[in-house]
Structure 1
Amino acid sequence: MPQNRRISSEIILKCAPYLTDEIKILKPKVVLCLGELCCKIVLRNGDLAGMDVLHGSVFNEGGISFVPSFDPAFIAQNPSKAELFKEDLQKIKELL
């Protein structure tokens, strides 16, 4: 997130409908949510736990699986999380 600020429920409520509509049009099997901000917007829930808890979980909605994972910029700054990121990608492979 920019300057590590918390995302407000107001921002989620404003952004989520547009993104949700686009996802419905595309009808993917799996959506990889990269980063906490993305995850909270896509899942329309600003109160979700942090990415250390959420990563690799699978949320199903409307026949689509949503998998939160770490933002690549975060991985670049925290290489110790790279293996967890790879595990999340493996989970997506299994869902396809």
Structure 2
Amino acid sequence: MQNYELMLLLNPNAVDEVDIFLASLEKLIKENKGSLVNTKLLGKRQLAYPINNMNYANYVHLDVELNTDTLELLEEKFKFDQNVFRHLTVKVEQ
């Protein structure tokens, strides 16, 4: 198991769907024997440049512990979800 930090930029118009999205991520992580250590909802912030004609995005920071197979599943989910504008995954060295 490895520790990772995930930063997500989500569609600001889908405020109600953020909780549903995070619940589905947590379910996917737990089904694959990982754990969601910490979730920080950083709120709606202005972007440096427009993405999909939007000037704002909801920022979410996640600390997770999972294996690389689960990480690949998450990356695939982020890639095809239209509410995820950008995502960044950083491996935390221990």
TM-score, normalised via structure 2 length = 0.31
Q: Which has the higher helix share?
A: 1
TM-score, normalisation: structure 1? 0.30
